[in-house]
Amino acid sequence: MRRVIGKVRVRAALGASLVVAVALVAAGTALLLVLKNNLVDQADLQAENTAREVATQIATGKPYEKLDLPDGDDRPVVVLSEDGRVLAAGDDVRAVDGKAVTARQTPPAGQPHDSDDDDDDHEIKPGEVEGKARHTGGTATVGHRTADYRFATVEAKDTQGGKAVVRAGAPLAAEREAVGSVRTAMLIGLPCLLLVVAGVTWLVTRRALRPVEGIRREMAAITASTDLSRRVPEPGSRDEIDRLARTTNETLGALQESVERQRRFVADASHELRSPIASLRTQLEVGIAHPELLDAPGAVEDAVRLQNLAADLLLLARLDAGERPADARIDLAALVREEVSQRVGDRIAVQVGELAGVEVAGSRSQLGRVLGNLLDNAQRHARESVRASVAREGEWAVLRVEDDGPGVPPEERERIFERFVRLDDARSRDDGGAGLGLAIARDVAGRHGGTLAVRTGSVFELRLPVA
């Protein structure tokens, strides 16, 4: 079990790490995409602002050679005419999208741009600037350095009606640097975070499963010592492990009770068997030595007692093994008449009371055994009368056996159904029996879905579900 607990900790740590890894990768990817899109949008906005500033100068009639164009490689600008001539360009701008900025240049064909912003059919008036800018990606060479940019293209007309196309760029270096920094931080931090998660999960799982290890050690000690009186520790945490510990202790208690009951049963059975066997042996030995002194009826009586006791023990063993009764339909009134008719020569004759016609499902032989045991018990304690009756109460068939004896004291009404229990210890075994009849009767009643109890001092009531 210790190995199993170790595997549970490993699986828990790996599972938590895997879940966290998937979550972090998904969150990191989304973060990078959002960050990249935001930075690209900022570059587009910067490029568009620059393009509109230059286009506004053109719309106000400022000459191309006097345009105030940004310097440096952070905002490259080129102004083209409708036929592709370079009208103006920023300082040190050498090429755009691999095309050199010369005195005669046509715009790059097939330049990608947002289709929703493409409005070539829209005519602008002299002195106006195009309302929508087109954003594209590309490269620009400023001085001796070529880099990636986001370009904004805006058209404008000067006061004379001449159209000019302004392309202004914003660098993507900051965007790539930011995305790269975040990506690097995630690649470094993710393994560290996974190690932390795995370690914390390992420790937490180890602490959570520590009571299970205690239960395992105690169970191993109980198995080794066969001492069923020991109990596993209960953490008292009111969680699944605490319930497992309580259930384990309940199981150990039930097992201890079962083993003790089995031991008492074996001891009592051995004690009960020893008496008739010893008596029978004595009589046979006397008969061998002195045939004229052989008590043949006494030997037969001891053999019958031994046979009955063996039959009772065999039936109890079958009941303890969980033998299910048959599913025949039995008329309780007919069963009572049959049993009473066979009791000829009893010390006290059995009187038959009201017999309602009601059927139950079960084993005829076992229910007949219950009725016989109840009548035997009643005749053993009755003074002058024993009475049996059958009634129906709702969905229950009720068989009552009563006598006019002293009755069972209230504090003993459950103990009499225990095995090998006789309330009158002074009574001889011949008269009192082995103390198994009522125990067998209650077990059989329970197997048939019913109950057997003492309702008043001398009234035994068997309840069975109606078939």
pLDDT the model gives residue 72: 65
Helix (H) / strand (E) element for 95: namely: strand 93-96
Q: What is the pTM of this model?
A: 0.50
Closest CA to 399 of 465, 341, 345: 465
190 with 98: CB under 8 angstroms? no
pLDDT the model gives residue 336: 92
pLDDT the model gives residue 392: 92
308 or 396, which is more confident? 396
Answer whether residue 455 shows pLDDT above 60: yes
Rounded CA separation 230/400 (Å): 44
Answer whether residue 53 shows pLDDT above 70: yes
pLDDT the model gives residue 209: 75
121 falls in which pLDDT band (50, 70, 90)?
very low
6 falls in which pLDDT band (50, 70, 90)?
low
pLDDT the model gives residue 49: 92
Residue 297 CB-density burial (10 A; 0-12 exposed, 13-18 middle, 19+ buried)? exposed
The SS3 call for residue 271 is helix
332 falls in which pLDDT band (50, 70, 90)?
very high
135 falls in which pLDDT band (50, 70, 90)?
very high
97: left (phi over 0), alpha (psi -120 to 50) or beta: left
Return the minimum-mean-pLDDT range out of 12-16, 107-111, 410-414, 438-442.
107-111
Structural domains in the chain, sorted by start:
1-227 (no CATH), 240-320 (1.10.287.130), 328-465 (3.30.565.10)
393 falls in which pLDDT band (50, 70, 90)?
very high
With a pLDDT cut of 70, the percent of the chain lying above it is 91
Rounded CA separation 331/334 (Å): 5
In Å, how far are 70, 223, 263, 316, 393 from 256, measured between CA atoms? Answer: 95, 13, 10, 19, 39
Question: What's the rounded mean pLDDT across residues 44-55?
Answer: 91
Question: What's the rounded mean pLDDT across residues 21-35?
Answer: 88
pLDDT the model gives residue 434: 66
**Average pLDDT of the residues of the chain:** 82
Taken in order 10, 16, 20, 21, the sign of the CA dihedral is positive
Question: What's the rounded mean pLDDT across residues 361-381?
Answer: 90
pLDDT the model gives residue 4: 54
pLDDT the model gives residue 387: 93
Question: What's the rounded mean pLDDT across residues 75-85?
Answer: 86
Answer whether residue 395 shows pLDDT above 90: yes
Answer whether residue 208 shows pLDDT above 80: no
- Using only the alpha carbons of the chain, give its radius of gyration: 52
Rounded CA separation 4/209 (Å): 11
Range from 251-260, 316-325, 400-409 that averages highest in pLDDT = 400-409
464 falls in which pLDDT band (50, 70, 90)?
very high
Q: φ and ψ at 395, to 5 degrees?
A: -95, 15
Output DSSP code: residue 414: T
Question: What's the rounded mean pLDDT across residues 409-421?
Answer: 85
76 or 103, which is more confident? 76
